[in-house]
Amino acid sequence: MQAAWLLGALVVPQLLGFGHGARGAEREWEGGWGGAQEEEREREALMLKHLQESLGLPTARGDDSLEGTPEDKGAWETEEGPQGEEEEEEEATPTPSPSPSPSPTPEDAITYILGRLAGLDTGLHQLHVRLHVLDTRVVELTKGLRQLREAVGDARDAVQVLQEAQGRAERERGRLEGCLKGLRLGHKCFLLSRDFEAQAAAQARCVARGGSLAQPADRQQMEALARYLRGALAPYNWPVWLGVHDRRAEGLYLFENGQRVTFFAWHRAPDPEPGSQPSAAPHPLSPNQPNGGALENCVAQASDDGSWWDHDCERRLYYVCEFPF
Residue-level pLDDT at 276: 55
pLDDT digits (tens, 9 = 90+) for 256-285: 999 999 888 898 877 655 655 554 444 445
Burial environment of residue 231 by CB neighbours within 10 A (0 to 12, 13 to 18, 19 or more)? exposed
Residue-level pLDDT at 111: 85
Collect the ranges in the chain with pLDDT lower than 70: 1-36, 43-44, 47-104, 271-286
Helices (H), 29-105: 34-55, 63-67, 70-92
Residue-level pLDDT at 100: 55
pLDDT digits (tens, 9 = 90+) for 148-167: 999 999 999 999 999 999 88
Compute the half-sphere exposure of residue 240: CA atoms within 13 Å on the CB side of its CA.
30
Instruction: Give the separation between CA 60 and CA 87, rounded to whole angstroms.
Output: 11
Residue-level pLDDT at 72: 46
Instruction: Give the separation between CA 298 and CA 296, rounded to whole angstroms.
Output: 6
Burial environment of residue 323 by CB neighbours within 10 A (0 to 12, 13 to 18, 19 or more)? buried
Q: How many residues does the chain have?
A: 325
Which residues are CB-neighbours of 311 under 8 A, at least 6 positions away? 239, 292, 296, 298, 299, 300, 317
- Is residue 308 a contact partner of residue 289, using CB atoms and an 8 Å limit? yes
Give me the amino acid identity at 231: G
Residue-level pLDDT at 48: 64
Give 284-308 as a DSSP string.
SSS--S---GGG--EEEEETTT--E
